[in-house]
Amino acid sequence: MQRKTFNWGIIAPGRIARRFAEGLSAIEDAKLYAVASSNEQRGKAFAKDFGAATSYLRYDELLADLKVDAVYIANPHRFHYETIRACILAGKPVLCEKPLTVNAAQAEQLMALAEQHQVFLMEAMWSRYLPVWQQVKRWLNQNMIGDIKLLQSSFAFPIPRDESDRLLNVDLAGGVLLDYGVYNVALSQFVMGRHPSKVLADGLVGPTGVDERCSVILNYGGAVSQFTCSFQSYTENSFCIYGDKGKIVVPAYFWDSNKVELHLFDKRPELLELPYLASGFEYQASEAMSCIRRGMLQSQLNTWQDTLGTQRVMDEILAQVGVSYPFL
């Protein structure tokens, strides 16, 4: 028996939403049904590109459409809280780009609201679902590299010095940690399967009041994760997991990689290439659809506690570096 087509709505059809829409093409029973954009021309063009039935100028119009089965939110994270809240109150299941919110307090409020209204909510930490990172988890579960001792990663690209840009705008929750470093934190949490007992952070706050570099040590009670995220330079942008029997390497760009390496001290390296079905965003979309169809409120592959753990670590890093947002 063929399943009913699952109709996705997209709020804020920008660059990252395009990858999500491309990912839907790999899911047989999913389609992009509706788009909502404050820019009418952009919304209509996006809808045309991906065969969506309709485009809306206002978000509430999309939320009122009974044919929309779930909403993917891709606007800047400064606006995630109010957008997610509107979706939950409208009874629409939510898959929202990372970070879910600007801080843990906002995330906790939304999770309580989702629980109250029995509405599915999931952060779109898409890397966790990629074949490469699922392979990493299998190797770790098989104890292939022994006890984890050290994680090392970086995420850094220089950006133009445009102080009106979102990335450098403190009023839009700019800064490198929430935009780049969220991957370093979330995937450290994914690897370790627990929250750090101690966070030590050093950073550079630029003239606009946002963090332009964060160098961090997360202490997991013996094992540590060391990472740097930066707007100032290029780095290797890989993620290495060192154990007492070998190491696992996810090469650049680790958050969007289809390659992974297993190096054991007594064997030749195992190098795997695991290509995406489409854009890579299809895996998280499939997981969200499966959960929604089963009446679940959260994914067991990326639970609310997983998201909260990441948000709390980032709260602590920003506090230590000295960044605060005027709208909070």
- 133 and 165 share one domain: yes
User: What Å distances lie between residue 256 and 14, 47, 127, 183, CA to CA?
Assistant: 18, 25, 7, 10
In a domain, 144, yes or no: yes
- 121 and 133 share one domain: no
Among residues 281, 206, 203, the alpha carbon closest in space to that of 8 is found at: 281
Other C-beta atoms closer than 10 Å to the C-beta of 38 total 13
In a domain, 1, yes or no: no
- 153 and 273 share one domain: yes
- 187 and 315 share one domain: yes
Which among 31, 92, 98, 198 is annotated as catalytic? 98
Domain boundary among 125, 155, 170: 125
DSSP 174: -
- 62 and 84 share one domain: yes
pTM of the model: 0.96
In a domain, 284, yes or no: no
Q: What's the domain range around 235?
A: 128-279+310-321
Of the chain, the end-to-end C-alpha distance in Å amounts to 50
81 preceded by cis ω (within 30°)? no
Domain boundary among 82, 101, 125: 125
CATH of the domain at 73: 3.40.50.720
- 66 and 136 share one domain: no
In a domain, 220, yes or no: yes
Does residue 98 have an active-site annotation?
yes
CATH of the domain at 180: 3.30.360.10
Which strand ranges, in their side-by-side order, compose the sheet holding 54-56?
A: 54-56, 30-36, 6-11, 70-73, 94-97, 121-124
Helices 182-192, 304-321: crossing angle, 10 deg rounding = 130
- What confidence score (pLDDT) does residue 2 get? 57
Q: Which residue has the tokens 């040590």?
A: 217
- What confidence score (pLDDT) does residue 143 get? 97
- pLDDT per residue as tens, the chain (328 positions): 557 999 999 999 999 999 999 999 999 999 999 999 999 999 999 999 999 999 999 999 999 999 999 999 999 999 999 999 999 999 999 999 999 999 999 999 999 999 999 999 999 999 999 999 999 999 999 999 999 999 999 999 999 988 889 999 999 999 999 999 999 999 999 999 999 999 999 999 999 999 999 999 999 999 999 999 999 999 999 999 999 999 999 999 999 999 999 999 889 999 999 999 999 999 999 999 999 999 999 999 999 999 999 999 999 999 999 999 999 9
- 118 and 54 share one domain: yes
- 258 and 158 share one domain: yes
- 247 and 159 share one domain: yes
Other C-beta atoms closer than 10 Å to the C-beta of 102 total 23
- What confidence score (pLDDT) does residue 20 get? 98
- 119 and 143 share one domain: no
- 68 and 150 share one domain: no
> What are the φ and ψ backbone dihedral angles of 281, each rounded to 5 degrees?
-85, -10
In a domain, 256, yes or no: yes
- 94 and 36 share one domain: yes
Domain boundary among 97, 125, 153: 125
**Beta-strand runs (E) in the chain:** 6-11, 30-36, 54-56, 70-73, 94-97, 121-124, 148-156, 198-205, 211-219, 224-230, 239-243, 246-250, 259-264, 270-273
Structural domain total, the chain: 2
In a domain, 263, yes or no: yes
